[in-house]
Amino acid sequence: MAKVDTLPHHLRPLMGKPSVTMGRCAVCGRARPLEQHHIVRRGAGKLFDGTGREIEKPTVTLCGFGNNLKDADGREFCHGLAHANRLHFRWVEADPIACGGHWEVIVLDEPASYLKALGLEGWRRL
């Protein structure tokens, strides 16, 4: 039985890209607490390559724990911002021939869908 792709088309360019694992938050630089965040949410669906193997969802090291938005001092946690749709990632191809590229991030004041965030100004290289 063939495996069926269930991942929305707008998320497919993010799949199979390199994960970012660091000893600090990749967005703000905070040293702890840290968690690996799935750039494409685990529940977003699945994508398979031509052999039927599932393509992995990349992750990024972010500060925070669970979906908590702020620490005891009121500073925002990037992991909480991502789950609140205020922090988004996109992959930018540097050279289509060389298959190179890099991650970019945007941090928003208000929640926005990924599709809306793609059209906004303020993206910066991770």
pLDDT tens digits for 18-77? Answer: 999 999 999 999 999 999 999 999 999 999 998 999 999 999 999 999 899 999 999 999
Task: Answer yes or no: is pLDDT of 91 > 80.
Answer: yes
Domain assignment of residue 54, yes or no: yes
Q: Is 1 domain-assigned?
A: no
Residue 85, domain extent: 9-125
Asked whether residue 93 is domain-assigned, the answer is yes
In this prediction the pTM is 0.91
Phi, psi of 124 (to 5 degrees): -140, 155
Answer whether residue 27 is part of any domain.
yes
Omega within 30 of 0 (cis) for the link into 33: yes
The answer to whether residue 3 is domain-embedded is no
How many domains, in total, are found in the chain?
A: 1
